[in-house]
Every structure is written in structure tokens, then in C-alpha cells.
Structure 1
């Protein structure tokens, strides 16, 4: 499973009306695991039927193009409550929500912050976030090594 698989998965999901949120590879050489997280464009929750539909389409494409090993595991699921924020559109969509962000510009290099705004042009977007002490910090997305929505269990 080479690096070229992500654009193919993205195109296949796009044709079905889904967005690729995350693609992870794991497992072993003999039995690779391909984990795919999808999201709906209509902002409804991803259903089991959505995952099954996407899985069947991806499986057919990956196998037809011989992009996967003979014995592989394909897991298609929703992005979950702690979904990654990979693109500027993700940051825009979740303004007002809290995220755990890893970035050298934040105190300690990693903090849970509130996303306040996103400005800038493609490739030069800057998120305005509020840190735990209430300070507003500008964080260029190109400086963020990882960001995920924060999830807290309600008691």
C-alpha cells in the first residue's frame, strides 16, 4: 500500500458524497490494515450504512487496481468525537469548539484551546485560539503538527 492510495481513496469517497477525514495504515506486511475515517458533507452523523456503502466502493476500487495486499483489513468509520483537524475547512467548521493542538507556539507545545476564528488565504491560514488562561493566540496552521477536537465525558 503505497503513498499514492490517499488521492484514490479521496476521489472514490468524493464520488459518493463523503470527505476523507483520516487515513491510517497499520498492521503487518502480511496483513496490512487500512483505517479510513469519513464524514458526510451534509453535516449529518455518519451512519453504519454510510460506512458499509463507502467500504464496499473502496474495496472494489482498491482490489480492482491491485492497490492492496491479497489479505488486508479495511476499516471504514466515522471520525469520532476527537476527530482530527487536518484542513482549514475543518478549523472553520469547528469555530467555537475546543481542540487539543500541538504547536511550538503554544505554551508547553500542546494545549487544549478554544477555536475563535480562522483568517488568511490558502496555505497561509491563521487560527485565533483562546488558551486555558484566557489569552488569545494566533496560530498559523502550517505550524500545527497535530490538532484534534477535544472530547470530555459529561457526568
Structure 2
């Protein structure tokens, strides 16, 4: 999958997008490659953005042919359960609930604060601080306005 990220990341960045998540799924014996993207300028992603990214990624994937056999390429917005992977993602969603998974614990709690690579969550009054990269998180509630 790193090869796909290495291919897609620079292409998307050059178009003004950030690759948030890449998933390779299997649907009826055929690979489905799902790219979840957002705009680098942090504006809401549009259908036109998704079409543009899909078109360019399709051309490059056809040219480089990194996947054996048939596959379907999908480009999506992050949606309400967007992945939170870096400090900026957490800063933008400060105060909202995140679903957190680590080797030692799983919980859903509001994002309390961000200091460098440390994210603090308010777990029912108990502050839990984790280092980015040591856990996975997704937004657990949709913000009332775009962030």
C-alpha cells in the first residue's frame, strides 16, 4: 500500500489535495482502491474536486500500473468519520469527539488540547494524553459547521 501512497500523495498534493486515507478492499473478487482526500486550503471538498482527482489518479494508475489485474478506483471526501492523523487534523476538530484505538485502550472522547505531537482527550473527566502515531483516531461526531 505504501507504493500506492507514494504514487498518489505527490499527484494529489500537486492538485491541491491531501491524501487522508488509502484503503484497498475486495469486492466480488476485484480490488477496490479507495482514496479519501481533502483540500489543502481546508475548504469543503466538492464533487468537481473528486472528479478532478479521480480523473488524474486514473490516468497515472493506468500509466504506472501498480496493481495486477482489474481494480476499481474510488475517490471520496473524508465524510463524518474522517481519519485524524496529524496535529493539524486534531486542531481543526478541537472540542469534538474522536473514536480512539491504541494497543492499550479504545475509547470515544472529546479532543481537549493539542501540544506538538501530544493529543489530550477528556475521558469522562479524566485527561488521557497520547502521542500521534501511537494510536488511530476518527472523528466520532460531525461538526455543526465545516472546519
Aligned position for 1:73: 72
Aligned position for 1:57: 56
Output the CA distance in 1 between the equivalents of 2:30 and 2:133: 34
- Unpaired runs of 5+ in structure 1? none
Give the TM-score normalised by structure 1: 0.82
Selected match of 1:127 from 104, 116, 119: 119
Output the CA distance in 1 between the equivalents of 2:102 and 2:70: 38
Relative distance call for 1:89 and 1:71 in structure 2 (3 A) is same
Output the CA distance in 2 between the equivalents of 1:27 and 1:127: 34
1:151 aligns with 2:131: no
Measured after TM superposition, the shift of residue 3 of structure 1 is: 3.3
Selected match of 1:136 from 109, 127, 138: 127
Output the CA distance in 1 between the equivalents of 2:71 and 2:19: 20
- Unpaired runs of 5+ in structure 2? none
Measured after TM superposition, the shift of residue 28 of structure 1 is: 6.3
Q: Which secondary structure state, in structure 2, belongs to the residue aligned with residue 116 of structure 1?
A: strand
Native 8 Å contact 1:91 1:115 kept in 2:
yes
Q: Which secondary structure state, in structure 2, belongs to the residue aligned with residue 24 of structure 1?
A: strand
Measured after TM superposition, the shift of residue 87 of structure 1 is: 2.1
Output the CA distance in 2 between the equivalents of 1:60 and 1:95: 37
Superposition misfits of 4+ residues, deviation over 3 angstroms: none
Output the CA distance in 2 between the equivalents of 1:9 and 1:137: 34
Give the TM-score normalised by structure 2: 0.87
Aligned position for 2:14: 15
Root-mean-square deviation over aligned CA pairs: 2.1
Matched positions, count = 143
Q: Report the structure, 1 or 2, having the larger strand content.
A: 2
Native 8 Å contact 2:96 2:141 kept in 1:
no
Measured after TM superposition, the shift of residue 41 of structure 1 is: 1.9
Output the CA distance in 1 between the equivalents of 2:112 and 2:80: 19
The equivalences for 1:92-131 within 5 A come to 92-104=91-103, 109-120=105-116, 125-131=117-123
